[in-house]
A and B are shown apart, each in its own frame.
Chain A
Amino acid sequence: MTGRAPRLLAGLLAACLAGSSAPAGDMLDKRSGADFMSPENRAMQADDMSNPGMFAVLDGEELWNRPEGANGRSCAGCHGEAATSMRGVATRYPAFDERSGRPIDLAGRIGECRRTRQEASPLPHESPELIALTAYVAHQSRGMPISPPQDERLAQFRENGRRLYERRIGQLDLSCASCHDARWGERLGGSVMPQGHPTAYPLYRLEWQAVGSLQRRLRNCMIGVRAEAFAFGAPELIELELYLMERAAGLTVETPGVRP
């Protein structure tokens, strides 16, 4: 694999530079989930040579350059160097999608390009290809602060996300806020409760032994309180993400993260 090592080194440098960021927004002491991890897991995330999420990023780079669909264009064919054209894009998603009149997440945006611009078969949620492309695009924003768009059209959806975040659900009758706002830093069984910021997705989770999306993570939390989880791609999950990104504003993008 020639060419991989220098890129990994460059990534490592970026990760080191990304290490510090001033929290912004109204939440005091805003902290990434990485801050609550063991030193071993933090080291695994920080070193691109040992971060398993980097495999998804490298797969994504390959897909970025591969011609696809009836149109036969690659992502690169239209967008050129991702390091330039995709820089900062992940910091402002979900964004308003004119076509549907609703917010769309980064994976959804990529899926739209694949469907309408490449005229290729759709990639299913959580498919390795979609995860890899999303990880590759999001990785171009690593180290940059999360900066939700100030788009009035998103306000009602973000507000709905906040409502979902504060609503008690499931047989255990808990809201996201019950755990992530009021009790972060405490221990739930053997796990330390993070603040629940979506800073590092798609990420490698040791529990999954795989790279997965934010939606997969949110569904896990819902299933944990014995609630009916929203389906992958459901509007509610995107509204939740919209609210979570606002709540995380100012924290830096870590993609690909590592979590326990």
Chain B
Amino acid sequence: MRWWNSLCVLAMLAPPAAAEPLRPYVVEGDAITRSLTGRPGDAENGRRLVMDRHRSLCILCHAAPLPDPHLQGTLAPTLAGAGSRLSEGQIRLRVVDMKRLVPDSIMPAYYRTGGLAQVAASFRDRPILTAEEIEDVVAFLVTLKE
């Protein structure tokens, strides 16, 4: 299975995240310490999301302690040990908008809708992941201890 290829088709079929207004958040240093939803995420669902190349795309770029390592990308550092290297708040900011820290990063901002060009109609004005999904992903990454 070649995921980049299938992605081309699935990008059109994937159910887009609900178009709700983005929730405000506060960046402190290199972290967003408060949950976007005000509640903790569901790590089990976060694991499913990180594994889902079509929804989250994480393992197109990252390796992670998950099945099928030969289908994981080599474009980014491994997510293994992310929970030891980074605090929950630091992880949250990196998933929400990596470009605040690394302006020319290739990692997409998962919770942003502005500043983009030529977005396909079905993805326009929607973040890649919803606030709930971001919290689930964060909750999972926090469990990745070395």
Contact with B along A217-239 (1 / 0, CB 8 A): 00011011011110000000000
Contacts of B141 in A (CB 8 A): none
Which residues from 171 to 211 on chain A have a C-beta closer than 8 Å to any C-beta of chain B? 171-174, 178-179, 183, 186-191, 193, 207
Q: Are B2 and A207 in contact (CB under 8 A)?
A: yes
Per DSSP, chain B at the interface is loop
Interface residues of A in 155-172 (CB under 8 A from B): 167-172
Which residues of chain B are within 8 angstroms of A188 by Cβ–Cβ distance? Answer: 3-4, 60-61, 73, 75
Residue A25 at the B interface, CB < 8 A? no
Residues of A within 8 A of B11 (CB): 223-224, 226
Most buried by B among A172, A191, A229: A172
A174 vs B4: C-alpha distance in the bound complex, in angstroms?
Answer: 14
B40-48, B86-94, B111-119 - interface stretch: B111-119
Q: What class of interface size applies to chain A in its complex with B?
A: 20 to 34
Say which residue of A170, A174, A187, A221 sits within 8 Å of B106 (CB atoms).
Answer: A174
Question: Is B128 part of the contact surface with A, judged by Cβ < 8 Å?
Answer: yes
Bound-state CA distance A171–B126 (Å) is 9
Q: How far apart are the CA atoms of A183 and B76 in the complex, in Å?
A: 10
State how many angstroms separate the Cβ of B55 from the closest Cβ of chain A.
Answer: 12
Which residues of B in the span 114-146 have a Cβ within 8 Å of any Cβ on A? 115-121, 123-124, 126, 128
- Say if the beta carbon of B84 comes within 8 Å of chain A: no
A186 contacts which of B2, B73, B116 (Cβ < 8 Å)? B73
Given contacts A189-B2, A189-B4, A207-B2, contact A170 B120 (CB under 8 A): yes
Asked if residues B116 and A170 are in contact (CB atoms below 8 Å), the reply is yes
Whole-angstrom CA separation of A240 from B79 in the bound complex: 35
The 8 Å CB contact of B109, one of A170, A173, A187, A207, is A173
Which positions in A face B, CB cutoff 8 Å? 167-174, 178-179, 183, 186-191, 193, 207, 220-221, 223-224, 226-229, 260
A-B interface, 10 closest residue pairs, ranked by CB to CB distance from nearest? A189-B3, A190-B71, A171-B123, A207-B5, A169-B118, A189-B60, A191-B4, A187-B74, A220-B8, A172-B108
